[in-house]
Amino acid sequence: MSTILIVEDEKSIVDLISFNLKREGYDILAAYDGGKGLELALSGRADLVLLDVMLPVMDGFEVLRRIRQSSSVPVIMVTAREEEQDKILGLETGADDYITKPFSIKEMAARIKANIRRTAGTQKPQGGDTYGPFRLDKGLQSITKNGRALELTQREYDILCYFLERPAQVVSREELMEKVWGYDYYGDLRAVDVAMRRLREKLEDDPAEPRYLMTKRGAGYYLQV
**pLDDT for 148-181, tens place per residue?**
889 888 888 999 999 998 989 999 999 998 888 8
Amino acid in the structure at residue 68: R
Q: Are 196 and 204 in contact (CB under 8 A)?
A: no
Q: Per the confidence metrics, is the pTM higher than 0.75?
A: no
User: 3-120: what CATH class?
Assistant: alpha beta
pLDDT in tens, 111-148: 898 888 776 654 444 457 888 899 888 777 789 998 88
- Longest CA span, the chain: 52
Number of neighbours of residue 79 by Cβ within 10 angstroms: 21
pLDDT in tens, 11-32: 999 999 999 999 999 999 999 9
Q: What is the CATH number of domain 128-223?
A: 1.10.10.10
Who wins on pLDDT, 105 or 186?
Answer: 105
Nearest to 93 by CA among 195, 209, 219, 179: 195
Strands 220-223 and 213-216: antiparallel
Q: Where are the domains of the chain?
A: 3-120, 128-223
